[in-house]
Amino acid sequence: MTLYKAMLAQLFGLITAIGLNPLLPLEFSGLVTFLILQSSSAMLYSSLFKQPRWWLIIHTLFLPSALALHSLELSAHWYLLTLILLTLVFWGTVKGDVPLFLSSAEVANSVSQIITQESAQYFAELGAGIGTITVPLAQQHPQLVINAWERAPLPWAINVLRSRHYANSHCYRSDLWNCDFNQYDVIFVFLSPAVMPELGAKLQTAMRPGSLLISSSFAIPDWEPETIKQVNDLAKTQLYCYRINY
């Protein structure tokens, strides 16, 4: 559905630009104006279709990048290779999964401090990417059992490779919703605002009472965090720490 919405937004953006461009005064009509019209209307349609925010960037860059690449007259193999790589990294994104973007080293340090404070023994990361959090944790906490859940093949493979020396770290290439949330003392997520209500509803009863959920950057609506940890990184990340009580 997300992919169809994206294609429709691009198509409607193109039709809008074709319709509006001839109406502009001659000195304003040209390729650059056409591209601005197309990408801004594609963005508008994308918002009307209620696509997640990251699609706005894709819609802005899509046609200008396509034309720029076309002008380079690259061999078709490069497009195929790029498509394969992007598919392996952004596996479920077209179906609505959160895309890969990475936590900072400072976030990993803060999570490590929380693990120490909690005396945690079992830790899971849902959507673990390339192991930005789990690899340093495996190194710093050899007694901690770490389970990394990641669905996209390439980030998962990179995480497996980076974790190969740490017997306490296990990477599962699986949907995060298949995780048995009940076994962990601490669960870390860095996902998107769109999934937080569903995640909250699921974890409220699926996590063990007394365990801790850390959500990087995105709060769970209507949940009261026990603490909000301010991380001193470029993004000024906030870690929302929720104690599970029910």
Ligand X SMILES: C[S@@+](CC[C@H](N)C(=O)[O-])C[C@H]1O[C@@H](n2cnc3c(N)ncnc32)[C@H](O)[C@@H]1O
Cβ at position 174, least distance to ligand X in Å: 7
Phi first, then psi: what are they for 230, rounded to 5°? -85, 120
Q: Hunting for tokens 């059992």 — which residue is that?
A: 145
Query: By CB under 6 A, which span of 11-19, 34-42, 76-84, 96-104 interacts with ligand X?
Result: 96-104
Size of the site for ligand X (CB under 6 A): 22
CA pair distance 38, 22, nearest whole angstrom:
13
Cβ at position 21, least distance to ligand X in Å: 37
Query: By CB under 6 A, which span of 7-15, 20-28, 79-87, 129-137 interacts with ligand X?
Result: 129-137
Site string for ligand X, 161-180 (x = CB under 6 A): --------------xx----
Identify the DSSP state of 193: G
88 binds ligand X (CB under 6 A): no
51 binds ligand X (CB under 6 A): no
Applying the rule CB under 6 A, the residues between 108 and 127 that interact with ligand X are 125, 127
Q: Which of 115, 152, 171, 187 binds ligand X (CB under 6 A)?
A: 152
**Residue 59 near residue 23, CB atoms below 8 Å:** no
Q: Is 179 helix (H, G, I), strand (E, B) or coil?
A: coil
Query: By CB under 6 A, which span of 39-47, 57-65, 150-158, 221-229 interacts with ligand X?
Result: 150-158
Q: Give the CA-trace dihedral at 175, 243, 52, 110, to 10 degrees.
A: -90
Identify the DSSP state of 226: S
97 binds ligand X (CB under 6 A): yes
Closer CB to ligand X, 13 or 125, in the complex: 125
DSSP string of 2-24, one letter each residue: HHHHHHHHHHHHHHHHHHHGGGS
